[in-house]
Amino acid sequence: MPELPEVETIRRDLHKHILNKKIVHVDNRSTYVTRYDTAEGFGAAVQGASIEAIDRIGKLLIFQFIESPNAVLCHLRMTGQLIYRTEDASLGGGHSLSKTKKILPHQHTRMIFTFEDGSKLFFNDSRQFGYFKLIQKEQLGEVYKKFGIEPLTKEYTFDNFVQALKGKQRSVKAVMLDQGVLAGFGNIYVDETCFAAGVLPDRLVTSLTEEEMKKLFEEGQRIIALAIEQRGTTFNNYVDGKGKKGNFVRLLHVYQRKGKPCFVCGATIQKITVAQRGTHFCLCCQV
DNA sequence: CTTTCTGTTAGAAA
DNA sequence: ATTTCTAACAGAAA
Using CB atoms within 10 Å of the CB of residue A98, give its burial: 0 to 12 exposed, 13 to 18 middle, 19+ buried: exposed
- The whole-angstrom separation of Cα A197 and Cα A190 is 10
pLDDT category at A92 given cuts 50, 70, 90 is low
pLDDT category at A93 given cuts 50, 70, 90 is very low
Helix, strand, coil share of chain A (percent; to 5)? 30, 25, 45
Say how far A245 CA is from B8 C1', in Å: 20
Residues 6+ apart with CB under 8 A from A86: A117, A118, A119
**Average pLDDT for A115-122:** 97
**Average pLDDT for A86-101:** 59
For residue A7, which nucleotide's C1' is closest to its Cα? B8
Any idea which of A110-124, A198-212, A226-240 has the lowest mean pLDDT?
A: A226-240
Q: Is the pLDDT of residue A236 over 80?
A: no
Using CB atoms within 10 Å of the CB of residue A183, give its burial: 0 to 12 exposed, 13 to 18 middle, 19+ buried: buried
Task: Please tell me which residue, A61 or A95, carries the higher pLDDT value.
Answer: A61
Any idea which of A102-106, A109-113, A218-222 has the lowest mean pLDDT?
A: A102-106
Q: Is the pLDDT of residue A100 over 80?
A: no
Strands (E), chain A: 23-28, 51-57, 60-65, 70-75, 80-85, 109-115, 120-125, 131-136, 270-274, 277-281
Average per-residue pLDDT in chain A?
A: 92
A169 touches strand C (CB under 7 A): yes
A186 touches strand B (CB under 7 A): yes
Task: Please tell me which residue, A94 or A100, carries the higher pLDDT value.
Answer: A100
Q: Given this model, what pLDDT does residue A103 score?
A: 86
For residue A130, which nucleotide's C1' is closest to its Cα? B8
**Strand B contact nucleotides, protein CB < 7 Å:** 5-10
What are the φ and ψ backbone dihedral angles of A132, each rounded to 5 degrees? -115, 140
A177 touches strand B (CB under 7 A): yes
A179 touches strand C (CB under 7 A): no
Q: Which residue is nearest to nucleotide C4 (CA to C1')?
A: A275
Using CB atoms within 10 Å of the CB of residue A49, give its burial: 0 to 12 exposed, 13 to 18 middle, 19+ buried: buried
> A234, A9 in Cβ contact below 8 A?
no
Is residue A146 helix, strand or coil? coil
A4 touches strand B (CB under 7 A): no
**Average pLDDT for A236-259:** 91
> A130, A77 in Cβ contact below 8 A?
yes
**Average pLDDT for A36-41:** 92
H helical segments located in A24-73: 39-46
Q: Is the pLDDT of residue A123 over 50?
A: yes
Catalytic residues of A: 2-3, 59, 277
Say how far A182 CA is from B8 C1', in Å: 15
A187 touches strand B (CB under 7 A): yes
A168 touches strand C (CB under 7 A): yes
- The whole-angstrom separation of Cα A149 and Cα A160 is 8
**Average pLDDT for A121-143:** 94
Q: Given this model, what pLDDT does residue A87 score?
A: 83
Say how far A110 CA is from C9 C1', in Å: 13
Residue A244 half-sphere exposure toward CB, CA atoms < 13 A: 11
Q: Given this model, what pLDDT does residue A44 score?
A: 94
> A135, A72 in Cβ contact below 8 A?
yes
